[in-house]
Amino acid sequence: MKPAYNIGAWMHLLLVAMILLLSVTACNEGDTFTESIFVDQPELDPNSATYAFDSWLEANYLVPYNLQFRYKMQDVGSDMDYNLVPTSLERSESMAILVKYLWFDVYKEVVSESFLKEHGPRIIHLIGSPAYNPSLGTMVLGTAEGGIKVTLYNCNMLDVNNLNIDIMNEYYFKTIHHEFAHILHQKRTYPREFENYSAGYYDPDGWQHRSESEAASLGFVSTYAGSQPREDFVEIIANYIVKTDAQWNAILDRASRPGVNQSGETVQDPLDGKALILIKLGIAEKWLKEAWQIDLKTLRAEVQERQLHIAEALNESYW
Amino acid sequence: MKIDSRHCLLVVLLFSLSSCLLTEDDLFPESAALRLNHAIDQAKATLLAAETGWVMDYFPTPESGGYTLLVKFDRSGLATVAARNTYFPTFTSSSGTFDVIGDNGPVLTFNSYNDLFHSFSNPENPTGIGLGGDYEFIILEVTDDLIKLKGKKRATDIRLRKLTAEEGWEAFANTVHDMDAFLFDPKAPSLFVHIGDKKYIATEGANHVFSMLPEGADKNLSEPERLPFIVTPNGLRLYKPYESGEGSEKIEVQHFVLNPDKTALVASENSTVRITGQPATAFFLDSLNWTGTNAWVIDKEHLGGLFSTAYQQVVENCKTKYKEDFDSFFLTYKGARRGKTFSFKSGRYEGAYDFEIALVNDRPVFTYKGTADRNGEIYLANIGGIGDFIAALGGDTYTVTADSPICPTVLTLTGVSNPNNWFKLILK
């Protein structure tokens, strides 16, 4: 028996009707693309205690980079599994200056003015505390979500009265370069051959139990680099950018010796850690040049120079 | 595509659906977005309207003890928070930004770090967890004098009560702190909770969470009831009403007020429910009341008669004979083998004299057993004054008065035969 109605024809008809309805709706609303994704931002209130800072953020992040520097913490924008706290106003101000000085201005100078406008995140979210994993004994230093948002943790530890670039790099600026490298390789994937060099030595669950020495001897610039290939890739870039020559050479030196584990025992492995790091750095450097037209050495030199002048950068009057 | 009767039918159906929707009654006169905006505006206006600010009854989690915070919201977007409590022993205030945002309904957020307020949320101490408190709160109910909040992560019920103009911040915080200090001390013996003819032992009051067991229950076998509370200017309030009994015997209490003679906290809802302390003489009776390593130290600034004379002698003789600064005499419990002792500390050395302490007619009687540890023997033989102090201690019985009948931490012992012989003991 033939069905009373042809379901296929009705579906076709329904689809046409829906397309028509949607077209009409779009036409009626008259949507156009806007320059900013933050189109419904409330006007800044001149009576607000943070007006001067907010105006500076608008002029230096929102307008040029289409980026919201989110220093007033939003629980909903954070990982609700962690106990977290916001960043203090003072430290947020310092972080905003330093992030611009050591990241945005560097790319503007070395790569191009438009590079971070095009490829940078749209949100930087500051969190005052670390994101602890008490059961694992680890803490999250930063996250990059879908190329849109970079979250920096532990910002309340920033001590502008006792500037220590090594600590600042460890918690913030190395993290920024680390997270930004994630954003870049999420857009244009890195060469798969990279993953072959340390295959079999990545330990996603136990990386934190390796010592720096042990990790280096296996060809990792940090313990976290030994967690998985993509972390290895961005750790090489981030460490190379922020470490001084002496610090970088110390990593290579460590990598050329047998590893000593957390119990103080020497660990034998068949790998040449230094050679592995240098090969992997070469792959990253080539990829940055070819995929992104970024000269890693020039970028590093600019960061190294600026790291010597962070006190002056902080002491300037901005608002 | 050919237009036929099916197309016409579809158009008719679509329009019918639309017209049906239009005939539905609106439950609310405004859209959800507008209602949310109005709720945010109303909450913000109410927060700002309290010129002298709000009293926040803050519980980090439904399981943890509460603390009183004073909060003033300013039009500039700053919230100033002040308190005096265990975590901030002196009156402290700190500012950070706040906002009322649209999230799960209107939400009050303290969104930049405030040294005081966020100390309850900071995941330090213990690392990774902290006290676990919220800093974003869903606004449940707003009136001019009371705002009811619920913590976003912990779902803790929190209240903001408008502070009246005549209540100064520091005075208010000090009143709450003084009440707290009067009621609780982590070193002091436990409290008793009386519910009708039942008696319970409540410990951990200093953490603002009563851990409550029926008197006589085996601590190792029984699971205590845990009742979080917050100290108020005139007593305390339990986080949730406490229920006991059934039917006509059912009792429900939540608010406790210190009675006029300051001997008990009495439930406002039912005066038969009371919280009392141990008697001032309790620690003389039961070694368990001598808590751990704590000691009752003889206050060198407050003693008289024979005790004053002997004490001065000891101080001088330690200085001249051993070139030592004499530190203190104290009464403490040194475990089952040694028992209760009268002890001293001088320079780097400690010594102990073994005592029997009994209560006769509710008055302590000290009896030196004649035995001491090695240091005790050496100092007794070489430092004049120690023997005199020991003799004076055993030479009389004493009336005992306490600074607080609920939480005694300072006891004054006055000789019955000769009231000129007296001394103060401070629990340390």
Question: Any idea which of A166-170, B6-10, B322-326 has the lowest mean pLDDT?
Answer: B6-10
Answer whether the bond into residue B126 is a cis peptide, omega within 30°. yes
CB contact under 8 A, A86 and B77: no
Query: How high is the pLDDT of residue A269?
Result: 86
Quickly state the pLDDT bin for A319 (edges 50, 70, 90): confident
CB contact under 8 A, A87 and B101: no
CB contact under 8 A, B14 and A17: yes
Which strands form A149-152's sheet, in the order they lie side by side? A68-70, A123-126, A149-152, A142-145
CA distance, residue B104 to nearest chain A CA (Å): 10
| Residue B234 predicted with pLDDT over 80 | yes
Query: How high is the pLDDT of residue B33?
Result: 81
User: Which of B10, B112, B129, B154 best probes binding to A when mutated, by most A CB atoms within 10 angstroms?
Assistant: B112
Using alpha carbons only, what angle is made at residue A44 by residues A43 and A45, rounded to the nearest 5 degrees? 115
Q: How far is CA A169 from CA A31, A72, A98, A111, in A?
A: 43, 23, 11, 21
For residue B14, the chain A residue with the least C-alpha distance is A17
A→B interface, C-beta within 8 Å: 5, 9-10, 13-14, 16-17, 45, 47-50, 71-76, 80, 82-89, 91-92, 128-130, 132-134, 156
The predicted model gives B219-231 an average pLDDT of 92
CB contact under 8 A, B1 and A16: yes
Structure tokens at B172: 């208010």
C-alpha torsion B136→B139→B142→B147, nearest 10: -40
- Cβ pair B353, B372 in contact under 8 A: yes
Distance CA B149, CA B140 (A): 5
Name the region of B204 (left: φ>0; alpha: ψ -120 to 50; beta: rest): left
Q: Which residues of B touch A13 (CB under 8 A)?
A: 6-7, 10
Tens of pLDDT, residues A23-38 = 333 333 333 334 566 6
pLDDT, chain B, mean: 91
Q: Which residues of A touch B126 (CB under 8 A)?
A: 134
Please tell me which of the candidates A10, A45, A134 has its beta carbon nearest to residue B129. A134
CB contact under 8 A, B112 and A73: yes
Query: How high is the pLDDT of residue A28?
Result: 37
The predicted model gives B339-344 an average pLDDT of 92
Please tell me which of the candidates A5, A16, A86 has its beta carbon nearest to residue B113. A86
CB contact under 8 A, B110 and A86: yes
Query: How high is the pLDDT of residue B3?
Result: 55
CA distance, residue B174 to nearest chain A CA (Å): 27
Question: Any idea which of A144-158, B136-150, B318-332 has the lowest mean pLDDT?
Answer: A144-158
pTM above 0.90, yes or no: no
Query: How high is the pLDDT of residue B256?
Result: 98
Would the CA dihedral through A163, A164, A168, A169 be positive or negative? Answer: positive
The predicted model gives B264-291 an average pLDDT of 83
The predicted model gives B208-220 an average pLDDT of 91
Nearest to B97 by CA among B81, B77, B71: B77
**Which contacts of A60-67 are long-range, i.e. CB under 8 A and separated by 24 or more positions?**
A60/A96, A60/A100, A61/A96, A61/A100, A61/A104, A61/A124, A62/A36, A62/A38, A64/A117, A65/A104, A65/A116, A65/A117, A65/A120, A66/A35, A66/A36, A66/A37, A66/A38, A66/A117, A66/A122, A67/A120, A67/A121, A67/A122, A67/A123, A67/A124
The predicted model gives B21-37 an average pLDDT of 72
CB contact under 8 A, A74 and B76: no
Number of C-alpha atoms within 13 angstroms, CB side, residue B277? 26
CA distance, residue B128 to nearest chain A CA (Å): 5
Distance CA B60, CA A83 (A): 12
Q: How many CB pairs below 8 Å do chains A and B form together?
A: 94
Quickly state the pLDDT bin for A138 (edges 50, 70, 90): confident
For residue B126, the chain A residue with the least C-alpha distance is A134
Q: Which residues of B touch A72 (CB under 8 A)?
A: 97, 99, 109, 111-112
- Cβ pair A156, A91 in contact under 8 A: yes
CB contact under 8 A, B113 and A85: yes
Nearest to A61 by CA among A108, A131, A16: A108
Tens of pLDDT, residues B357-378 = 989 998 999 999 999 999 999 9
CA distance, residue A83 to nearest chain B CA (Å): 6
Residues 6 or more apart whose CB falls under 8 angstroms from that of B382 comprise B317, B321
The predicted model gives B26-51 an average pLDDT of 88
Structure tokens at B342: 């009268």
Distance CA A24, CA B268 (A): 66
Query: How high is the pLDDT of residue A145?
Result: 73
Query: How high is the pLDDT of residue A35?
Result: 59
Quickly state the pLDDT bin for B248 (edges 50, 70, 90): confident
The predicted model gives B132-142 an average pLDDT of 96
Structure tokens at B81: 């928070």
CA distance, residue B224 to nearest chain A CA (Å): 27
The predicted model gives A207-222 an average pLDDT of 96
Other residues' Cβ atoms within 10 Å of the Cβ of residue A195:
16
Percentage of residues in chain A with pLDDT exceeding 70? 87
For residue B123, the chain A residue with the least C-alpha distance is A83
For residue B121, the chain A residue with the least C-alpha distance is A85
Distance CA A194, CA A208 (A): 22
Query: How high is the pLDDT of residue A37?
Result: 67
- Cβ pair B354, B369 in contact under 8 A: yes
Distance CA A128, CA A133 (A): 16
User: Terminal CA-to-CA distance of chain A, rounded, Å?
Assistant: 81
Select from 1.10.3470, 2.60.40, 2.40.128, 3.30.70 the CATH code of B283-427.
2.40.128
CA distance, residue A318 to nearest chain B CA (Å): 20
Q: Which residues of A touch B8 (CB under 8 A)?
A: none
Tens of pLDDT, residues B287-328 = 555 555 678 999 999 999 999 999 999 999 999 999 999 999
Please tell me which of the candidates A17, A91, A129 has its beta carbon nearest to residue B123. A129
- Cβ pair B55, B67 in contact under 8 A: no
CB contact under 8 A, B1 and A10: no
In the numeric block, the tokens 């530890």 are attached to: A157
**What is the CATH topology of the domain spanning B32-167?**
Lipocalin (2.40.128)
CB contact under 8 A, B118 and A128: yes
Tens of pLDDT, residues A44-88 = 999 999 999 999 999 999 999 999 999 999 877 777 788 999 999
Quickly state the pLDDT bin for A39 (edges 50, 70, 90): low
Please tell me which of the candidates B11, B128, B136 has its beta carbon nearest to residue A75. B136
Query: How high is the pLDDT of residue A1?
Result: 32
Select from 3.90.660.10, 3.40.50.40, 3.40.390.70, 3.40.50.720 the CATH code of A51-315.
3.40.390.70
Q: Which residues of B touch A49 (CB under 8 A)?
A: 74, 76-78, 97
Nearest to B289 by CA among B391, B390, B402, B182: B402
| Residue A91 predicted with pLDDT over 50 | yes
Q: Which residues of A touch B77 (CB under 8 A)?
A: 45, 48-50
| Residue A305 predicted with pLDDT over 70 | yes
Query: How high is the pLDDT of residue B148?
Result: 98
| Residue B156 predicted with pLDDT over 50 | yes
Query: How high is the pLDDT of residue A23?
Result: 33
Question: Any idea which of B26-40, B103-117, B218-232 has the lowest mean pLDDT?
Answer: B26-40
Query: How high is the pLDDT of residue A30?
Result: 36
Query: How high is the pLDDT of residue B290?
Result: 53
Quickly state the pLDDT bin for B11 (edges 50, 70, 90): low
Query: How high is the pLDDT of residue B8?
Result: 57
The predicted model gives B245-269 an average pLDDT of 94
What ipTM does the predicted assembly reach? 0.81
Q: Which residues of A touch B1 (CB under 8 A)?
A: 16
| Residue A3 predicted with pLDDT over 50 | no
CB contact under 8 A, A86 and B96: yes
CB contact under 8 A, A134 and B128: yes
Please tell me which of the candidates A10, A71, A75 has its beta carbon nearest to residue B112. A71
| Residue B203 predicted with pLDDT over 50 | yes
Which residue type, as a one-letter code, is found at position B206?
A
pLDDT, chain A, mean: 87
Tens of pLDDT, residues B51-70 = 999 999 999 999 999 999 99
CA distance, residue B5 to nearest chain A CA (Å): 12
| Residue A20 predicted with pLDDT over 80 | no
Distance CA A218, CA A270 (A): 9
